[in-house]
Chains A and B, each alone.
Chain A
Amino acid sequence: MTSIAARAKEWSQKINWLVERVCVALLVVLVLDVWLGVLVRYVIPLPLTFTEELARYLMIWMALLAVSSGIAHREHIGVEFIFGRLPAPVRRWLAVAFDVIAFAFFLALLIYGIGFAAKGFSRLTMIYAIPKGYPFMGVPLAAGMACLQLALIGIHDFFAERAPEATGATLAMPGGE
């Protein structure tokens, strides 16, 4: 049984390895894009108008994709006051129940997100006039990745030898608070 848990964890980390790299690549492009925006506003007056729009969409893609990474590392913060005081078997069932509920939430976002993105292809963005479907695709894609990670983490929680100690991070969360 523990081998199933180990296998699920292994796959979760493999997928996350790729997602992390994509997220960092998006962050790098985002930083360069905003720097370019600052540069053309203050230093070199070039007529580059796309930087602001691109930055917003890069940010959304990066942040939404990173949601699945947060699931893989259990870094989404929660109030663990009661959870941490529950007996191990209850903690295990509760953690699995949360994984299933969250899975359903992201599945709904995935399903309705596909329709949302498809509709977006008939609308154009304000500045650069590209179909809005491209940026919108970030929502179903990220929801799909989150589903995948939740399924793997759920399997891990169910079969692992030790019941989970926490459902998410209780540790440092810069920026948020």
Chain B
Amino acid sequence: MGALLVALAFFGLLAFGMPVGFAIGVAGMIGILDMGPRFMTMAPDRVFAGLDLFPFLAMPFFILAGEIMNRSGITQGLVKLADALVGWMRGGMAHSNMVASVMFAGITGSATADAAAFGNTLVPAMEKAGYTRRYACAVTAAGSIIGPTIPPSTLAIIYGSIMGVSIAGLFAAGILPGLLICAICMGVIALTARRKNLPKGEGRPSLCAVWAALREGFLAALLPVFILGSILGGFATPTEAAAIAVAYALFVGGVIYRALSWRDLYEIGVRTTRITGVIFLIIASASILGWWMTFNRIPQAIAEALLSVSDNPQIIIALIVVLLLLIGLVMDINATLIILAPVLAPLTAQIGMAPVHAGIMIILALNISLMTPPVGACLFVLASVTGEKVEGITRELWPFIIAEVAILLVIAFWSDLTLFIPRMLGL
């Protein structure tokens, strides 16, 4: 009875539009109440314990660094750099959108932030250059999931923290899938460029122009190199690297570019705290629901149900991927990660997957669900920023979704590919 009530509250409230953080908390609270009022003290306890993890500190710091970089206009240099590198091809602006996504990924690590930033800037620019708005939105949506795949990635921080997996290892393992997604999406653009008659760029830029763009984007491009270098080289923890990234962004934006006023800094602070509040409420609420699920042995039930289908590791992996893609369609991915990781991680261990490999597979599957219709968050962001209908974007998005799912399957079934970089770095 309790489980049914929780499921009803959970899916009902979510479907009708209650904010995710509230809906999950309410469902968890109903479950605890059903167990008996004496268990209610567990709710505040889980809220606190669910957040009391040192690695989580990296999240507000990376958000803060990204906000400072964006507000001071440093990131604009990256867009110009991407354009100088690949903008000359047919469909050049679509290609440079992808490359810019990779560069932004090393700074913000957020799909919806990239979608919003590009939706405001690159989509109108692409329209002006002769692309349809829906195609520009589809390319942006497809590229936006590179953000949370390439480090720093919020999902990797959450997964690593709650499952005790090396965050540095997850960061290292996220690089290649992110680059592969960029490559395959550029492949899709190139293959369809002639048929769709995509506009051509202005021809190959001179070495001087590339050098000028490189100089302009250099300070922004240095940050991700710096962050990754310090974490993957083992010099700093992700939290320390994130704190140093904030100092770097402040120095470049405030001292070198002189683009930050006190007012700007205050507004950046307000935005950072509010975004952190939204994410942390989801984490806290998911901790309440997660405790109820664990107490009622629901993770074991789900795991047993999956194992009862087959004990073939390949089939189990396929089932996990399908499950994540389906759940990600309707659920917030942070919450899905917190609730499902404790279910899926032991399962993947049982079939012999390395923890880092399993983590990246789970993270990538959830990321792809961000841009899958009908309710992928990136689609909604783009639709509201650009005024294009979700249905319209979806029509142009399918080839990209199929290509990205193909990459996901390669990552899921070929562990050596994922573990190549972490092994090389000794992580």
Physical interaction between A and B:
yes
Task: Give the B-binding residues of A (Cβ under 8 A).
Answer: 20, 23-24, 26-28, 30-31, 34-35, 37-38, 41, 52, 55-56, 59-60, 62-67, 69-70, 73, 75-84, 94, 98, 101-102, 104-105, 108-109, 112-113, 115-117, 135-136, 138-140, 143, 166-177
Question: Contact between B56 and A75 (Cβ–Cβ < 8 Å)?
Answer: no
Contacts of B148 in A (CB 8 A): 177
A-B Cβ contacts below 8 A, count: 255
Give the distance to chain A from B231, nearest Cβ to Cβ, in Å: 13
The residues in B between 272 and 287 inclusive whose CB is less than 8 angstroms from any CB of A are 272-282, 284
Which of B8-16, B81-89, B128-136, B292-300 lies at the interface?
B8-16
Q: Nearest 8 CB-CB pairs, A to B?
A: A66-B277, A83-B17, A174-B113, A172-B116, A76-B19, A63-B280, A24-B269, A23-B273
Interface residue count on the B side (C-beta < 8 Å): 83
Contacts of A70 in B (CB 8 A): 274, 277-278, 281
Asked if B404 is an interface residue, CB under 8 A from chain A, the answer is no
**How far apart sit A67 and B21, CA to CA, in the bound complex (Å)?**
10
Contacts of A94 in B (CB 8 A): 16-17
Contacts of A76 in B (CB 8 A): 19-22, 278, 281
Contacts of A77 in B (CB 8 A): 19-21, 278, 332, 377
Asked if B375 is an interface residue, CB under 8 A from chain A, the answer is yes
Which of B38-46, B182-190, B253-261, B353-361 lies at the interface?
B38-46
Question: Contact between A170 and B13 (Cβ–Cβ < 8 Å)?
Answer: no
Interface string of B117-147 (1 = CB under 8 A from A): 1000000000000000000000000000000
- Which has the most chain B C-beta neighbours within 10 Å: A28, A78, A139, A167? A78
Question: Contact between B13 and A101 (Cβ–Cβ < 8 Å)?
Answer: yes
B280: contacting residue among A28, A64, A84, A174, CB under 8 A: A64
Give the distance to chain A from B153, nearest Cβ to Cβ, in Å: 10
**How far apart sit A52 and B29, CA to CA, in the bound complex (Å)?**
31
Using known A-B contacts A65-B277, A176-B275, determine if residue A35 contacts B243 with beta carbons closer than 8 Å. Answer: yes
**How far apart sit A101 and B243, CA to CA, in the bound complex (Å)?**
38
Question: Contact between B276 and A62 (Cβ–Cβ < 8 Å)?
Answer: yes
**How far apart sit A162 and B39, CA to CA, in the bound complex (Å)?**
41
A176: contacting residue among B13, B51, B112, CB under 8 A: B112
- Which has the most chain A C-beta neighbours within 10 Å: B47, B67, B109, B154? B47
A109: contacting residue among B44, B108, B273, B385, CB under 8 A: B44
Question: Contact between A80 and B275 (Cβ–Cβ < 8 Å)?
Answer: no
Contacts of A37 in B (CB 8 A): 240, 243
Contacts of A136 in B (CB 8 A): 44, 48
Question: Contact between B20 and A116 (Cβ–Cβ < 8 Å)?
Answer: no
Using known A-B contacts A28-B269, A174-B275, determine if residue A63 contacts B51 with beta carbons closer than 8 Å. Answer: yes
Asked if B111 is an interface residue, CB under 8 A from chain A, the answer is yes
Question: Contact between A112 and B19 (Cβ–Cβ < 8 Å)?
Answer: no
Give the distance to chain B from A136, nearest Cβ to Cβ, in Å: 6
**How far apart sit A83 and B16, CA to CA, in the bound complex (Å)?**
6
Question: Contact between B279 and A24 (Cβ–Cβ < 8 Å)?
Answer: no
Question: Contact between A79 and B330 (Cβ–Cβ < 8 Å)?
Answer: yes
B384: contacting residue among A20, A60, A171, CB under 8 A: A171
Question: Contact between A66 and B274 (Cβ–Cβ < 8 Å)?
Answer: yes
Using known A-B contacts A63-B60, A75-B278, A76-B22, determine if residue A173 contacts B112 with beta carbons closer than 8 Å. Answer: yes
**How far apart sit A76 and B26, CA to CA, in the bound complex (Å)?**
15
Question: Contact between A30 and B22 (Cβ–Cβ < 8 Å)?
Answer: no
Contacts of B239 in A (CB 8 A): 34
Using known A-B contacts A31-B243, A59-B51, determine if residue A108 contacts B40 with beta carbons closer than 8 Å. Answer: yes
Residue of A nearest to B111 (CB): A177
Residue of A nearest to B115 (CB): A172
Residue of B nearest to A176 (CB): B279
Contacts of A78 in B (CB 8 A): 14, 17-20, 23
Asked if B52 is an interface residue, CB under 8 A from chain A, the answer is yes
The residues in B between 22 and 61 inclusive whose CB is less than 8 angstroms from any CB of A are 22-23, 25-26, 29, 40-41, 43-45, 47-48, 51-54, 56-57, 59-61
